[in-house]
Amino acid sequence: MRTIDWVDDAIVLVDQTRLPGELTYLRITTVADLIDAIQRLAVRGAPALGVAGAMGVALAARTGEPIAPLRAARPTAVNLAWGVDQAAANADPLARALEIRDEDLSACLAMGARGADLLAEHAATRVMTVCNTGGLATVERGTALGVIQTMHERGVLAEALALETRPLLQGARLTAWELARMGAPHRLIVDSAGPFLLARGAADAVLIGADRIAANGDTANKIGSYSLALGACRAGVPFLVIAPETTIDLATPTGDAIHIEDRGAAEVVSLGGVKIAPDGTQALNPAFDVTPADLITAIVTDRRVIRLDRGETP
Ligand code: MRU
């Protein structure tokens, strides 16, 4: 199953807002509809957004729509702007978009193997993860969840603990769905249980994806990643970031310069469409946080392992 692809002059993508209830696809033929799908999180996850951005430029070449609003549709994941820029700089945007789609799959396979090798060195068989970093966040397989899939295929995964990931529940809705489909042993936990369960020795390592990695290694990822990094540090377990080279943004010196998307109060004051807070409640809703480089053991990319714990930088 491909999360996003180009079929008969259109982008075809899994509508992630309908999972886990229904596996349905959207057929997108305009940049305006693509921006809407990105902002509703029908398509999401940094690498999938990179492919969507590049394919969106191919759509724009047909419809004549501007690409600047697409490039800015979500600000934190660098891959979206990167994908738009890559396709726009190419005489044949569609050809470049299809290349990015294909490179994504090989990158995920490489990250999966390299990450599983590193975890084997740490004798780690029980892992904790947040949000969704699987095939649904890429074209197929995924980054951090791709490592977990490789561990499962190698027969060394004892258990994956997935954080539910409030407010939009990517962990409960998407990661649990993917783990069940691959037949991998897993349990779901509430977000606030993560650091405590690490303190009690429930996992041997934490694996996360990334939306943007600054030049010093500071890493923006789904809100909740930073608490897990603090918990992992205190518990003395490795904290690994799994991301393709395209998520490294050397133009951003440190995490302080990363624009964190705030998605507004509505997602916080309601859950699954049901209001859970009194009328008029104000809320803060940062969709991402930044884990400082000194809390990260290593960044595993499709090309290398960057040992932040040994002073290396991207
Ligand atoms: O808001 P989302 O669901 O797009 O956030 C996604 C994440 O934070 C992922 O961890 C990140 O994009 C890496 S996906 C391989």
Domain coordinates in residue numbering, the chain = 4-103, 112-310
Give the pLDDT confidence score for residue 251 in this predicted structure: 97
Please name which of 168, 166, 248 lies closest in space to residue 214, comparing C-alpha atoms: 248
What's the Cα-to-Cα distance from 81 to each of 75, 183, 279, rounded to whole Å? 8, 35, 37
Q: How far is the CA of 135 from the centre of ligand 1 (A)?
A: 11
Distance, in Å, from the CA atom of 167 to the CA atom of 266, rounded to the nearest integer, reads 10
Catalytic residue, candidates 5, 191, 204, 211: 211
Give the pLDDT confidence score for residue 214 in this predicted structure: 98
Two structure tokens written together for 263:
């998605």
Binding residues for substrate: 44-46, 74, 170, 221-222
Give the pLDDT confidence score for residue 272 in this predicted structure: 85
Contact 3, 14 (CB under 8 A): yes
The edge-to-edge listing of strands for the beta sheet with 239-242 is 186-189, 159-163, 126-129, 205-208, 239-242, 298-300, 305-306
Is 211 among the residues known to form the active site? yes
Angle (nearest 5°) at CA 220 between 168 and 158? 70
User: Whole-prediction pTM value?
Assistant: 0.98
Contact 211, 77 (CB under 8 A): yes
Return the CATH superfamily for domain 112-310.
Translation initiation factor eif-2b; domain 2 (3.40.50.10470)
**Per-residue tens of pLDDT for the chain, all 314 residues:** 899 999 999 999 999 999 999 999 999 999 999 999 999 999 999 999 999 999 999 999 999 999 999 999 999 999 999 999 999 999 999 999 999 999 999 999 999 999 999 999 999 999 999 999 999 999 999 999 999 999 999 999 999 999 999 999 999 999 999 999 999 999 999 999 999 999 999 999 999 999 999 999 999 999 999 999 999 999 999 999 999 999 999 999 999 999 999 999 999 999 988 999 999 999 999 999 999 999 999 999 999 999 999 999 99
- Please determine whether the domains at 4-103 and 112-310 fall in the same fold group of CATH: no
Question: Is residue 44 lining ligand 1, measured as CB closer than 6 Å?
Answer: yes
Q: What are residue 35's phi and psi, to 5 degrees? A: -60, -40
DSSP 215: T
Binding residues: 44-46, 74, 170, 221-222
Two structure tokens written together for 63:
């419809």
Distance, in Å, from the CA atom of 292 to the CA atom of 309, rounded to the nearest integer, reads 12
Contact 110, 303 (CB under 8 A): yes
Contact 40, 64 (CB under 8 A): no
In this structure, the chain runs to a length of 314
Q: How far is the CA of 136 from the centre of ligand 1 (A)?
A: 10
Give the pLDDT confidence score for residue 286 in this predicted structure: 98
Helix (H) or strand (E) run with residue 178 in it: helix 176-182
Helix, coil or strand: residue 61: helix
What class has domain 4-103?
mainly alpha
Asked whether this complex has an ipTM greater than 0.95, the answer is yes
